[in-house]
Structure 1
Amino acid sequence: MLCFAAETGGEKGHVAQATAAFEWPRFSYFRGGIRSAAPYAAVTPHQLWQVVHSPRFAAATAWLRQAPAGSEQRDERKKALDYVTPAGTFAPTRANGNLQTPSGLLVLDFDHLPDVTAARATLLSDVLLQPGLVLLFTSPGGEGLKVLLEADPAASHLDNFQALASYLAGRYGPELQPDSCGKDVARACFVCHDADAWLNPRFGG
């Protein structure tokens, strides 16, 4: 059974203090792969980081990466992974019209990067992006990045995505462009293993 550590209790004072002053964003977690449309739980960025950082999905991630890149076999293995909807909680199923509570976050998928390590360093050091970066980890296939960011609460999900994509295009060109599917509010973000996953300390890391 998948268990998530509580955000309060057992975490040494600083998390409890932060919780009192900051309401953690929450989004839906789905077990059993992309064909599971009903959410299993609502989780926080810290809880997702715990899952990604832990060895829970290490074997599944290694197994996926053994399949040839771009193959149907790899795609099917990815679809079997658990996933989240960073934009918020959904009910009764994941669908654009079923958003219950927005999280204030969005996810950017960077696929087929020529140098994942360099791209990671670039995003983490970008002075405009960095204050809003929440969570960053290597994608299941090992050739991309998943990046959760805080969104402008006064703008729509689509406007936020387009603004970020436009900024990245202007600053870094086509080498660092997010997948256009990120404009979908119900966008699924697959969970995998990354021992070096990065979490903004403001979110309980």
Structure 2
Amino acid sequence: MELDEQAILDKTNYGLNIYSHILRVYYPNEVVLRLSGKQCSPAKNPFNKNKLTLKLINVDWVFLYSDLEKDDFKGNPFEFAALHYKLTGNELLEKLNEEMHLRIGEQWDFYGNKNLPELPEEEENKPAIHIPKFSYFNSPVSNIYPKSTVSLVEVYELIKSTKNTSKTEQLRTIQAKDEARKFKASKFDYVTFSGVFTKRNDKALQNHSGLLTIDFDYIENLQQLKNQLLNDEYFETELLFVSPSGDGLKWIIPIDITESTHQNFFNAIANYIKEVYQLKVDKSGKDVSRACFLPSDPEVFINPKYL
């Protein structure tokens, strides 16, 4: 493989790893990037007094950078690297290839070469992944004080397991809506996907998780909608599972609350879903402390970046 910009982009997650590699030089003991969909939350910019103004977004399969304060501070991963290394052209590409252990253009004799360089640690070239955390509550829903703080991966594993299979199957046999509602409220543990709370109340929010729950009810073709959501053009799916009732979906997607409020995001996304999918969503999602019951779904989907 010839050493050029495209070869490096192909081996660095569209250039994202170049940014994380350089930023770790300046901030070695910090999580330098938080990826959400096709962009990162504002990060520290070493070229703007370490302010949280650095923005990265994937445009046509290349992560481009900009600054929230400096209009003229923008470019591609190689221009960002040039600011750090003070190199350009082939010298810069060779520097990145060497420092990031990309090994582009190197010839290997698996059996004959006794001086193979030491392999980098597996995490060396991976961007830092922030795993969202939020509050977990024991049933019944009238209990408003959390048991613990859990991660998105932990909830994925719980939903995928058989722990809640029996009660999920039992709920789906109950025909009377009021009886089913009471059963669900009394038997199912729940989480507040949008954040960590001291108690389940919007005013008791400690930390927003960067997640928003979209609730679809009474869906005729669950698999069709599931496929559509997983391939949505604008929103990346963090978690997707069938609701306890069995006739709906819970779609957990990322939002950046540094750009707008939880409620504004919900209203905008609800309008988007109405226009694109001709579906109405449960308006309770606008509440940041919204409770989401945890059923059993062996086919639950989680964004592969967390696994």
TM-score range, shorter chain: 0.7 to 0.9
Separation in 2 of the partners of 1:81 and 1:163?
Answer: 30
Unaligned runs of 5+ in 1: 1-12
What is residue 113 of structure 1 aligned with on the other side? 219
The answer to which structure, 1 or 2, has the higher relative contact order (CA under 8 A, 6+ apart) is 1
Q: TM-score, normalised by structure 2?
A: 0.57
Structure (1/2) with the larger helix percentage:
1
Higher-Rg structure is 2
- Matched residues in 1 for 2:204 and 2:292: separation? 17
1:97-155 Cα offsets, whole Å, 9 max, x none, are 100111011101100111111111111111212xx210000000000001111012211
Q: Identity of counterpart residues, as a percentage?
A: 33
How far the C-alpha of 1:18 sits from its partner, in A, is 9.8
Q: Counterpart of 2:266?
A: 161
Alignment: residue pair count: 185
Q: What CA distance in whole angstroms lies between the structure 2 residues aligned with 1:34 and 1:106? A: 20
Per-residue CA distance 1:42-75 (angstroms, 9 max, x = gap): 111111100000000000100111101x522111
Structure 2 residue 239 is matched with structure 1 residue 135: yes
Structure 1 CA distance for aligned equivalents of residues 262 and 292 of structure 2: 16
Moved >3 Å (runs of 4+): 16-20
**CA displacement 1:12-56 (0-9 Å, x = unmatched):** x97x88998222211000012201111011111111100000000
- Aligned residue for 1:40? 147
> CA–CA distance in 1 between the matches of 2:286 and 2:221?
24
Equivalent residue runs for 1:89-100 within 5 Å: 89-91=196-198, 93-100=199-206
Q: Corresponding residue for 1:30?
A: 137
- Write the letter of the residue equivalent to 2:157: Q
Once residues 165 and 152 of structure 1 are traced to their aligned partners in structure 2, the CA distance between those partners, rounded to angstroms, is 16
1:101 pairs with 2:101:
no
Could you say which residue in structure 2 is the equivalent of 1:8?
none
Amino acid at match of 1:46: V
Q: Of the candidates 266, 273, 286, which is equivalent to residue 183 of structure 1?
A: 286
TM-score (norm 1): 0.85
